[in-house]
Structure 1
Amino acid sequence: MGGGPQSVRQLSGRSLALIILAALVVGYLLGSIPFGLLLTRAAGLGDVRSIGSGNIGATNVLRTGHKGLAAATLLLDMFKGTVAVLLANHFFGMEAAMAAGFGAFIGHIFPVWLGFKGGKGVATYLGVLLGFGLNPALVFAVVWIAMALMFRFSSLAALSAAIIVPVSLFYMGMPMVALMFGVMSVIVFWKHRANIQRLAAGTESKIGSKG
């Protein structure tokens, strides 16, 4: 992933800090758009937070029985992360791209519009990852699909992918991005703590089960 027309490394310390902050804020605002909630309300299905896990993400939207809405939620939640990374990288380079991507991820999980109670971040995590390259995103996708097919637990698939991704990024020669995704993976695990408890107890809902 290349730098933008003017790398932030060429700027003064103050300008660098302002650009990083601006990228973080813009990324956060993009990430905080609650597509799952907006789409289900527009479809006349009410508040998706009232069913299943109470989450606004694609897995919970799928529990409404509307696969098309779930797919749309997944894609939109992904691409808001991708757009944040690509725009920041295009204009200001890798450092800004990392800030924007992290901001988008945090925005999805803690959206100001919903009292800082958002999704679990998996789709946006993948979208941010895609912004840094197709190969890292393919690693996530392969691990997620394999685990989902074997066990049919979305949470287990996501957690497995979140373990592999930072390691893969490190071996792909992106140590700073790997570090950022390591932090993001820790947050993903923290957001899935209830799922982990249900997995251990054998009560976790499988993919496709309705709320």
Structure 2
Amino acid sequence: MIILTTLLFISAAYLIGGLNGAILLCRVKGWPDPRGRGSKNPGATNILRLHHAQAASTVLIFDLLKGTIPVYLAYFIGYSPFAIGLIGIAACLGHIFPPYFQFKGGKAVATGLGTLLPLGMDMTGLLLLTWLFTIAVSGYASLAAIVTAILAPVFVEFIKPEFTTPVIMLSVLIILRHISNIRRLLTGKEKKIVNWKQ
């Protein structure tokens, strides 16, 4: 029975994760599909490039919540750390491979962060500070996501070590989604979201 309910929860998290905020907002506003413009990534950063900060904030909050809600409910119900981790990963996989949008989604940065918010304000603060610091120093949103993903397992090991394994799995998933960004960073072709020299 526990296995069945866990599988149902994982499936629900995947379906919730598939509700891509950027694509939905663009459809509501009558804007072009973000998967065909800018970085072609349907996420908050690309929406910021293509439109404005208010639209990007809406997408960011939406994508955060669809990671936070399933994980928080699983945490509240009392699922094991590993099961909670699988539920969080399922939400991220839904964002990456959305069943409603031809399985072509984003990189799950905001959704991944959302899955970690229920671990506490200290974890949330460390992740946000890491992301903001990397953005401030480098100007690259992709590098900020990669650095934050790398450090997330380190942070959780000191805060709630029982979640280290699923967080490592989540971090690997996010880093793999950034392989093309890593190549562009190494060749100097990656675009900055903030350019302090301008």
The correspondence of residues 1-211 of structure 1 with structure 2, limited to 5 A, is 15-95=1-81, 96-175=83-162, 177-207=163-193
TM-superposed deviation, 1:200: 0.7
Q: TM-score, normalised by structure 2?
A: 0.92
Q: Counterparts of 2:75 and 2:160 in 1: how far apart (Å)?
A: 18
* Paired positions, count: 194
Q: Counterparts of 2:54 and 2:75 in 1: how far apart (Å)?
A: 31
Check the 8 A contact 2:86/2:166 in 1, yes or no: no
Larger Rg: 1
Check the 8 A contact 2:119/2:160 in 1, yes or no: no
Question: Aligned to 1:140, what secondary structure does the other structure show?
Answer: helix
Q: Counterparts of 1:133 and 1:170 in 2: how far apart (Å)?
A: 13
Unaligned runs of 5+ in 2: none
Match of 1:7 in 2: none
Question: Aligned to 1:70, what secondary structure does the other structure show?
Answer: helix
Q: Counterparts of 1:33 and 1:208 in 2: how far apart (Å)?
A: 28
Q: TM-score, normalised by structure 1?
A: 0.87
Unaligned runs of 5+ in 1: 1-14
Provide the aligned C-alpha RMSD in A.
1.5
Question: Aligned to 1:161, what secondary structure does the other structure show?
Answer: helix
After TM superposition, the runs of 4+ consecutive aligned structure 1 residues lying more than 6 A away are: none
Question: What do residues 107-161 of structure 1 show as CA deviations (whole Å, max 9, x unaligned)?
Answer: 1111111222111010001000002222212111010000000111000001001
- In structure 1, give the amino acid aligned to 2:115: V
Check the 8 A contact 1:159/1:188 in 2, yes or no: yes
Further displaced range: 110-119 or 92-101: 92-101
